[in-house]
Amino acid sequence: MPTKLDKWADWLVSRRFGNDKNLALQTKARLEIIRDRLLRNASISEGNKILDVGTGDGLIGIEALKYIGDTGKVFFSDISQDVLEICKAKIPSAYLGKFECCQQSADNLNIFSENEFDVVTARAVVMYVSHKQEAFYEFYRVLRPGGRISIFEPINKFSAINSPDYLDLDFSSLKHELSLKILGPLGYPLDTINNPMLNFDERDLFRFAEEAGFKDIKIENCLIKTSKIMLQPWEVFLESSANPLAPPMKDILNTLSLEEKCLATNFLFSAWKRPLRSGYHSETYLTAVK
Ligand SMILES: C[S@@+](CC[C@H](N)C(=O)[O-])C[C@H]1O[C@@H](n2cnc3c(N)ncnc32)[C@H](O)[C@@H]1O
């Protein structure tokens, strides 16, 4: 394993939890619920050949190994070789011979043939792909007729539109230049037209699937507004980041002069202590048949 992991692997292994055991446990519990629903939607049976796209550290693929019996196989694919090595190390040795790991981008699955898989799964991957339609063409191509996709995606466009300010904060009390230094690396102002993580919703996912040729397309979408956000410890707030492409706040603060760092830290600390603010979330499960 390389000593310095790439941004995907670093986030999956530690940055998403801010090195905090409690946050890691909470996240694991939440993700297991999503994993189980996504796999139920996939209707996997013994002997199935599964492709888990953007497999990460194997949340979906490792669990899928339990469903495929003696003759099935799971292909773990991801754009990041570091991620694949972390995933491989987590797969129980009992499954040796029943899986393969392949470095592939979701929108170009060129090592796989047409009609190769019974099921394609992906959780929180399409959002990172710029050419989403191409990815759906590829999912369709590699599935056998009658094969299924089962996908889960957060719809960040919904949160971006309803809650466009970082932590619901008004940065106007800070100098404009300083607010840019804090918000720029986090992707603010949010761009719901050009940012691949923000520029699509569940209807776009439906359209991509339909255009690729899928039938029996089903979208289950959930919109949530919470008024109370659970606070993580301040250290965790500094060490963690919301997605693999965002740096932790600690790294942003370390780019500032001492004076700017004090101002920014005080400003963020007062926001972090505020327990009541709105949070908007949208989550989508998509299933379809070739
Ligand atoms: C948020 S993680 C999700 C990982 C895993 N699916 C899970 O459910 O935990 C996103 C994953 O997508 C991978 N990824 C990003 N862009 C990709 C692309 N174009 N093709 C394939 N995988 C990609 C990243 O390396 C990372 O492992």
Residue 30 C-beta-side C-alpha neighbours within 13 Å: 7
What residue ranges define each of the domains in the chain, with the CATH number in brackets? 7-289 (3.40.50.150)
* Residue 54 CA, ligand 1 centroid: distance in Å: 4
Q: Does the Cβ of 129 fall within 6 Å of ligand 1?
A: yes
Looking at the predicted structure, is the pLDDT value of residue 244 above 70?
yes
Distance 195 CA to ligand 1 centre (A): 16
Q: Is the pLDDT reported for residue 254 higher than 90?
A: yes
**Contact status, residue 126 vs residue 135, Cβ threshold 8 Å:** yes
Please name the residue whose Cα sits nearest to atom 18 of ligand 1. Answer: 105
Residue listed under structure tokens 């796999």: 39
Is 289 a residue whose pLDDT tops 90? yes
Per-residue pLDDT reduced to its tens digit, 106-115? 999 999 999 9
The amino acid present at 256, given as its one-letter code, is L
Q: Which of the four pLDDT bands, split at 50, 70 and 90, describes residue 167?
A: confident
CA-to-CA distance for 287 and 38, rounded, in angstroms? 9
Q: Residue 96 has what pLDDT? A: 95
Distance 78 CA to ligand 1 centre (A): 6
| pLDDT single digits (tens) 62-106 | 999 999 999 999 999 999 999 999 999 999 999 999 999 999 999
